[in-house]
Chains A and B, each alone.
Chain A
Amino acid sequence: MDPILEGRQLHTRRQFFGRSVLGLGTAALASLLGRDAFGAGLLTAGRKGVPGLPHLPHFAPKVKRVIYLFQNGAPSHVDLFDYKPMLRQWHGRQIPDEVVGGKRFSTMTGTQTERPVLGEITQFRQHGRSGAWVSSFLPKTAEIADDLCFVKSMYTEAVNHAPGITFFLTGSEMAGRPSLGAWLSYGLGSETEDLPAFVVMTSRDKEASCGQIFYDFYWGSGFLPTKYQGVAFRGSGDPVLYLSNPAGMSREVRRGMLDDLAHLNAIKREEFGDPEIATRIAQYEMAYRMQTSVPELTDLSREPESVLAMYGPDVKRQGTYAYNCLMARRLAERGVRFVQVMHAGWDQHRNLNTQLKIQCEDTDAPSAALVKDLKQRGLLEDTLVIWGGEFGRTPFLQGKIDEVKQWGRDHHPYGFSLWMAGAGVKPGFSYGATDEFGFNAVENRVHVHDFQATILHLLGLNHEQLTFKFQGRNFRLTDVHGHVVKPILA
């Protein structure tokens, strides 16, 4: 469908429904419900979705939904995507001071006097027609190289995980600002009523070697109303907290209870006139629907074996990265706006030689399968997939060069890589570059705020105009910075 036309229709629909359906509870909903005391009419009237702000999107979007495969802990760009022959040549020799330029590092290497260059521990080869360099640790990703748009000149400001991740996801290093997904559900609303607009799923490496924690402010709503915060699907048990009826209460019993609850609430509304009561009726009805839609979402019995196989052996195990990638596709199909899949375990300070390979094995097939799967279903045409961490890793060694087993790399904010795939970005394209040591982003540098501005742009949003007034100031995701990276746009 023509996105502009669609945008216009959406706009008309929004005008009709006003901003009433959630939270604001205005007279519009009251009058709608007045025609149907139980509110069922409202919810089955064929309308799909929850409106966002009336004047959005600002322009025709290329992307309807985003799946962000966030790699917590910071994957080593110089071992995976950013091939620098210099590193092997200089292996073991002190990295030149003029490259480091007195920059700060975490306390783990901040005081280390020796900073020998560490050659990549993997093998690089070019792939596809685009000739993208991809590490031997990521064979499946290499297969889809021509679908990927690499940014190899990312840089950020944080040197530690929590601030770094918070910066990527909220635009600020300090916790408490709305996250990207919250901004999107606030601005654009949702295309589904049966599922949350913003879903988060987390997993970690099997060895639990890293200590990074998934803080809820990674998907928080900050000063936006809490209904915009991400809903974290759990890795075990009910994916949504308290989704299941208590033991012994059947769906029929619950249905009957809710019917009378709505009835009693409707009586109250008639008598009291508070439109919030109408909202309450809708709220309980939506909860009931979620009790159906979520089990349907997680029921994999209809997935063909061939599809499951692509995602790898862990795909049926709830709480794994593979399972979450498949679930991301299923959520995207059902109209969820923003899916944030987070996988921890990339923080190889002293176990690069053992852990990086395992980490790649766990994530390579599922990430690639997701892109392929979306593509074969035509969903990649309006879905954007992003793969990346909060920073990169030092091209020099953390540890001692003769203690091979304990080789590692420290946090590195000055240049690193990520990739995107899908709607709106050039496939088989690589943008920007670091210097010959993979140390500093030097060519077409992309700051985190630029990256965020670009994502918003793809969704039809001007990052300078998606704002929320709080404490007297109009806040936005990109603070007061950010430029759309136009050269990567398709």
Chain B
Amino acid sequence: MFNPWTLARPVLFAAFLAGGTQAAEKIDFNRQILPILSDACFHCHGPDPETREARLRLDQRDGLFRTREGVTVVAPGQPDASELILRITSPHEDEVMPPRKVARQLKPAEIDLLKRWVAGGAPWGAHWAFSPPQRPAVPVPADPQLAARVSNPVDAFIFARLEREKLAPAAEAPPETLLRRVTLELTGLPPTPAELDAFAADRSPDAYERVVDRLLASPRYGERWAWDWLDLARFADTNGFQGDPERTMWPWRDWVVNALNANMPFDRFTIEQLAGDLLPGATTEQKLASGFHRNNMFNGEGGRIPEETRVENVFDRVETTATVWLGLTFTCARCHDHKYDPIAQQDYYALFDIFNQLSETGRNQGGGQVPPVMDLSTPAEQERVKRANAKLDALARRVDAFELKKFPRPEGRPVADSPDAIKLPGNLYATHAKVEPRRRNINGLLEALPHFQATDPDPEYAKLLEEHIAAVRERDNATARITRVMIMDELKERRETFVLTRGSYEHKTDQKVVGAIPALFRGAAEAGGARARPAHGKIAGPSGADSPPAAAPGEPRLNRLDLARWLVSPGNPLAARVTVNRAWQAFFGTGFVKTAEDFGVQSEPPSHPELLDWLATEFVARGWDLKALHRLIVTSATYRQSSRVTPELLERDPDNRLLARGPRHRMPSWMLRDQALAAAGLLHEQRGGPAVKPYQPAGIWEEATFGKKTYQQDHGDALYRRSLYVFWRRIVGPTTFFDAGARQVCTVKVARTNTPLHALVTLNDPAYVEAARVLAQGALATATDDSGRVDQVFRLVTARRPSAAERDILLRRLATLRGQFAADPKAALQLASTGEAPRPGSLDPVEHAAWTALCSLLLNLDETLSRE
């Protein structure tokens, strides 16, 4: 009897996902066989004709069941007559498949599975993700007690599966745990003691649901969920690459927050961001939304060939779009037909053509505001530029006068004409001597100052150069602060698109392509002949939005708006699924499809395929309503389970894919910072606007940019804004975050690792130490005794009160700390003064320091760091 539990883990897991622990031999082609064929065979016998061997294709039905010259690849029911089985079991070196030299070999269990699949009639089906989701019937758990716990259909699917696995769901988490979990999840901030009290006191049956509704309505909701979208959108406050000029894309970020808070339907959310500028009568807001695809990096390196940059930007837009709305990796198809998924290189360039019509030239113009841009500047911003320019003009005149004496030459001639100029190194000759003072740039000046200081000590000139640097910096800062948002536009005269050999901008083939959706999604009939001909009539409009004809009649070429509409139309089987999957990932740590970035043939089969499709169809049926989707998930009994785990369950389901317990994970680092600020009462809840620069160790930017960028830390309220608003320099992101998306390319799934470096952040970053000492201030100011204070802080960070044993440990530690700081009052005052928040002078530094250390300990508890 086949028992999957005795097999090696990967196969075991495939079987496990397929839902069978019994050998009742219903082998699912899609979930069990296709992944093996794809991984082990498609490289040479798959979609890419370039690498196809023996004219054999196993990715299509015809190829798989083909008989040629008397040889049948797969003969259903007859493993012994199937060449595929004969080859994979062949003892002969020159016959066996995969060839021995290939890294990916079949495991015995996989060979066995393939044999049994053929023996069982070799049922076949196309890859599940390429067919539209079918709404499954909602199952009913057989056990009435279990059925009674079903809160909504989510639970019905999860419980039915648990029942099959002979597992039972965990009990509901305690109210304070639940409130903390859902509050952090939906708003990114912890519940207050008052909210905890109110929830504990509320005995009504819908108490939890009302909390959820309160949280969904909170403006913090948009701030929390914007983070994930910003990771996808590779949002940052600078271009990246050399010079790393600043951008002013924050109005786009605020658009995202507002759209999420207003619960803009996801289809409209999609269309406005991909093609808001092309909507008829596009509003300013809609044009702003189209900034989504201007968030990519921009390489303005000196010597860079503009077309190379431009083409790379188009690649990025194609691939980001495919990842976000199709859950497919198009990157491979840049150079050749995809090896596994039915995506041809032509399909890639058909999308490329759609994004190839932006007026962007690839030339480095406007620093971080590369045209096309939308001017959203304020009079104050313009005034600042005017003042900075005036100041620079005045200073340049002084420099000029001084240099006329220092480097004698005929008036009106550059320093280069002075005999002394020959002493300057080549670079300075070019950037300093040949350039009149008004036009010198920051890089040249930063080079000039140390040169003159080292070779020609002249304090007066050095001072003048320093002033000049300051003035140029101010001019540059003021100019960079003028709010201009990069947006999309469409060339009147369209660029022609050709397939590029190996994705090289230099090597256009003669194969011309026009905008179209990938053939895979165009249906079998169309796929053959009119490849590029889209099915216009079938492209549905978004819910609520007006939908004029997609393109001019007779125009076979799709544009961005057509594509955006198609992405959220019933024609695309993936958008709702990938979106629902990402939401599930956010709440439970792992999506139904673990490879959230890839739903292709090589992806891991979903853990709960029916629930995934049910949620996807439900999401669309409810008008792409994100808040409704989130509500559905968090009000499920599944989500509300305790996350406590038994050794047996841990062994059975270490990654909690079956969800016989609630999720428990370390929170993202940005959320940890927000939690610390909120618990300490430091959080300054101002919404939107330009980014802020909180604490950061000295020299980070300087080191990364050779001193060309200096970090000017903000003060006051700006130090305590939510992490969402922290300035993100793309080449060196904020140091206070760890395991965060790098904001360089589209990131669907961020890592959750535990390295010593992370512990150092939450232990030593002034943001956390300051939060600890302000927490201490709060405790010392309110509660009356040590026990009460310990309880108060413990509850602020974990939402519960400590057990007697825990309290005891903490009180003993407090006594030790008091002794340690009493012995060194100077150190006590130092610790108690960390950060810039005010500190009451009346506080005893020793007492304050002891409590600060204790609060720092509490901020580092595993429970504090985890969403439990």
Asked whether A and B interact, the reply is: yes
A residues apposed to B, CB below 8 Å: 22-23, 25-27, 30, 104, 106-108, 110, 159-162, 174-176, 196, 202, 204, 206-217, 220, 225-227, 231, 234-238, 240-250, 252-254, 256-257, 260-261, 263-265, 267-269, 271-277, 279-281, 283-284, 286-287, 289-291, 319, 344, 350-355, 405-408, 410-411, 464-465, 467, 469-474
CB contacts (< 8 Å) of A263 on chain B: these are 809
B447 touches A209 (CB 8 A): yes
Query: Is B427 part of the contact surface with A, judged by Cβ < 8 Å?
Result: yes
Q: When the two chains form their complex, are residues A242 and B820 in contact, meaning their CB atoms are under 8 A apart?
A: no
Query: In chain B, what residue has the closest Cβ to A23?
Result: B753
Contact present for A246 and B759 (CB under 8 Å)? no
Cβ of A265 and Cβ of B751 under 8 Å apart?
A: no
B429 located at the interface, meaning its Cβ lies under 8 Å from any Cβ of chain A in the complex: yes
Q: Which of B149-157, B396-404, B717-725, B852-860 contacts A (4 or more CB under 8 A)?
A: B852-860
Interface centre among A246, A250, A253, A263, by most B CB within 10 Å?
Answer: A246
* Contact between chains at B697 and A472 (CB < 8 Å): no
Residues of B close to A161: CB separation below 8 A: 242, 301
**Chain B residue, CB-CB nearest to A406:** B426
Q: A256-B817, A407-B426, A471-B600 provided; 8 other pairs, C-beta below 8 A?
A: A23-B753, A107-B305, A108-B303, A202-B703, A241-B760, A246-B764, A470-B597, A472-B603
Q: Are A471 and B706 in contact (CB under 8 A)?
A: no
* Structural contact, A211 and B243, CB atoms closer than 8 A: yes
| Closest chain B CB from A279 CB (angstroms) | 5
Query: B763 at interface (Cβ–Cβ under 8 A)?
Result: yes
Among A176, A227, A274, point to the contact of B664 (Cβ < 8 A).
Answer: A274
Residues of chain A contacted by B430 (CB below 8 angstroms): 350, 406
* Contact between chains at A267 and B805 (CB < 8 Å): yes
Question: Once the chains bind, are B757 and A213 in contact (CB under 8 Å)?
Answer: no
Q: How far is the CA of A22 from the CA of B759 in the complex (A)?
A: 14
Closest residue of chain A to B805 (Cβ to Cβ) is A267
Q: Which of B568-603 contact A (CB under 8 A)?
A: 595, 597-598, 600-603
CB proximity of A377 to chain B, nearest CB, Å = 27
For the complex, give the distance between the alpha carbons of A283 and B861 in Å. 12
Q: Which residues of A contact B847 (CB under 8 A)?
A: none
Whether the Cβ atoms of B766 and A246 lie closer than 8 Å is yes
Residues from chain A with Cβ under 8 Å of B248 in the complex: none
Contacts of A243 in B (CB 8 A): 760, 764
Contact A242 B645 (CB under 8 A): no
CB distance from A157 to the nearest CB of B (A): 9
CB closest chain-A residue, reference B451: A207
Select which of B427, B597, B834 is within 8 A of A247 by beta carbon.
Answer: B834
Most chain B beta carbons < 10 A, residue from A26, A237, A273 = A273
Residues in B whose Cβ lies below 8 Å from that of A108: 302-303
Interface-central residue, A244, A248, A353, by most chain B CB under 10 Å = A248
24 residue pairs bridging A and B, Cβ less than 8 Å apart: A22-B754, A27-B654, A106-B303, A107-B303, A161-B242, A175-B745, A196-B757, A207-B425, A208-B450, A213-B243, A213-B706, A237-B698, A243-B760, A248-B829, A254-B763, A269-B862, A281-B862, A284-B763, A287-B757, A287-B763, A351-B426, A471-B595, A472-B329, A473-B602
Which chain A residue shows the least CB distance to B772? A246
Judged by a CB distance under 8 angstroms, whether B842 is at the interface is no
Instruction: Indicate whether B299 reaches chain A with its CB closer than 8 angstroms.
Output: yes
Compute how far the CA of A210 lies from the CA of B443 in the bound complex, rounded to whole angstroms: 9
Q: Which residue on B lies nearest to A291, using beta carbons?
A: B760
Instruction: Determine the chain A residues whose CB is within 8 A of the CB of B785 once the complex forms.
Output: none
Whether the Cβ atoms of B104 and A474 lie closer than 8 Å is: yes
* Interface range on chain B (Cβ under 8 Å from partner): 35 or more
Which among B244, B451, B700, B754 has the greatest number of chain A C-beta atoms within 10 A? Answer: B754
> Which residue of the partner chain, among A226, A280, A354, A474, contacts B865 with CB atoms under 8 Å?
A280
Q: Is B824 an interface residue (CB 8 A)?
A: yes
What chain B residues lie within 8 Å of A159 (beta carbons)?
303, 305
Please state if A355 and B426 are interface contacts (CB–CB under 8 Å).
yes
Asked whether B645 lies within 8 Å of A213 as measured between CB atoms, the reply is no
Q: How far is the CA of A408 from the CA of B425 in the complex (A)?
A: 12
697-728 of chain B: CB within 8 A of chain A = 697-700, 703-708
Chain B contacts with A in 428-485, Cβ cutoff 8 A: 429-430, 443, 446-447, 450-451
Contact B834 A246 (CB under 8 A): yes
* Docked complex Cα distance between A353 and B646 (Å): 71
**1/0 per residue B76-102: CB within 8 Å of A?**
000000000000000000000000000
Which of A209, A225, A352 is B751 in contact with, Cβ under 8 Å?
A225
**Assembled-state Cα–Cα distance A280/B760 (Å):** 12
B304 to chain A: closest residue by CB: A160
B756 interface residue (CB < 8 Å to A)? yes
Distance of A34 from chain B, by nearest CB (Å): 10
Q: Which of B698, B705, B862 contacts A280 (CB 8 A)?
A: B862
Across the interface, do B731 and A215 meet the contact criterion of CB distance under 8 Å? yes
Most A Cβ at <10 Å: residue of B425, B645, B654, B803: B425
Q: Which residues from chain B contact A260 at a C-beta distance below 8 Å? A: 809-810, 813, 857
Which residue of the partner chain A has the closest CB to B746?
A: A176
Q: Are B644 and A207 in contact (CB under 8 A)?
A: no
How many inter-chain contacts with C-beta < 8 Å in the A-B complex?
302
Give the residue of A215, A225, A250, A410 whose beta carbon is less than 8 angstroms from that of B824.
Answer: A250
Are A257 and B426 neighbours in the complex by a CB distance under 8 Å? no
- Asked if B830 is at the interface (CB within 8 A of a chain A CB), the reply is yes
Contacts of B213 in A (CB 8 A): none
B101 — nearest CB in chain A belongs to which residue? A464
A472–B602 contact, CB under 8 A? yes
Shortest Cβ distance from B452 into chain A, in angstroms? Answer: 12
Give the distance in Å from the alpha carbon of A246 to the alpha carbon of B698 in the complex. Answer: 15
- Check B303 against A23 for contact (C-beta < 8 Å): no
| Chain B, 500-548, CB within 8 A of any chain A CB | 506
Q: A107-B303, A256-B816, A257-B853 are in contact. Are A175 and B831 (CB under 8 A)?
A: no
Say if the beta carbon of B554 comes within 8 Å of chain A. no
Most chain A CB neighbours (cut-off 10 Å) among B443, B650, B757, B856? B757
Q: Which 6 A-B pairs have the closest CB atoms?
A: A472-B602, A248-B830, A248-B831, A106-B303, A351-B426, A287-B759
Partner of A273, one of B644, B732, B821: B644
Q: Report whether A265 and B861 are in contact in the complex, using a CB–CB cutoff of 8 Å.
A: yes
Query: Shortest Cβ distance from B843 into chain A, in angstroms?
Result: 14
Report Cα–Cα, A196/B755, bound state, in Å. Answer: 9
Residues of A within 8 A of B312 (CB): 174
- Chain A residue numbers with a CB within 8 Å of B806 are 264, 267
Given the complex, which residues of A lie within 8 Å of B834, measured CB to CB?
Answer: 246-248
> What are the residues of chain A within 8 A of B854 when measuring CB–CB?
257
| B332 close to chain A: CB less than 8 A | yes
B143 at the interface (CB under 8 A from A): no
Distance in Å: Cβ of A59 to nearest Cβ of chain B: 14
Chain B residues 802 to 836 lying within 8 A of chain A, measured CB to CB, are 803, 805-806, 809-810, 813, 816-817, 820-821, 824, 826-834
Is B699 touching A106 in the complex (CB atoms < 8 A)? no
With A226-B739, A290-B756 in contact, do A211 and B598 touch (Cβ < 8 Å)?
Answer: no
Most buried by B among A234, A237, A242, A352: A242
* Contact A240 B241, beta carbon cutoff 8 Å: no
Chain A residues with CB under 8 Å of B700's CB are 234
A242 and B697 contact, CB distance less than 8 A:
yes
Q: B303: nearest residue on chain A (CB-CB)?
A: A106
Q: Which of A30, A214, A249, A287 contacts B831 (CB 8 A)?
A: A249
Nearest residue, chain A, Cβ from B765: A242
Residue of A nearest to B241 (CB): A162
Nearest-CB residue, chain B, relative to A241: B735
Q: How far is the CA of A458 from the CA of B340 in the complex (A)?
A: 32
- Please report which residues of chain B, range 669-709, place their CB below 8 angstroms from some CB of chain A when the two chains form the complex: 697-700, 703-708
Do the beta carbons of A273 and B427 come within 8 Å of each other?
no
Instruction: Flag if A208 contacts B645 (CB, 8 Å).
Output: no
Does the CB pair A213–B244 fall under 8 Å? yes
- In the complex, A280 Cα to B753 Cα: how many Å? 10
Q: Is B317 an interface position by the 8 A CB rule?
A: no
Query: Are B103's CB and A253's CB within 8 A?
Result: no
CB of B761 closer than 8 Å to a CB of A: yes
Which of A104, A236, A264, A350 lies in contact with B426, CB distance below 8 A? A350
Q: Is B314 on the interface with A (CB-CB < 8 A)?
A: no
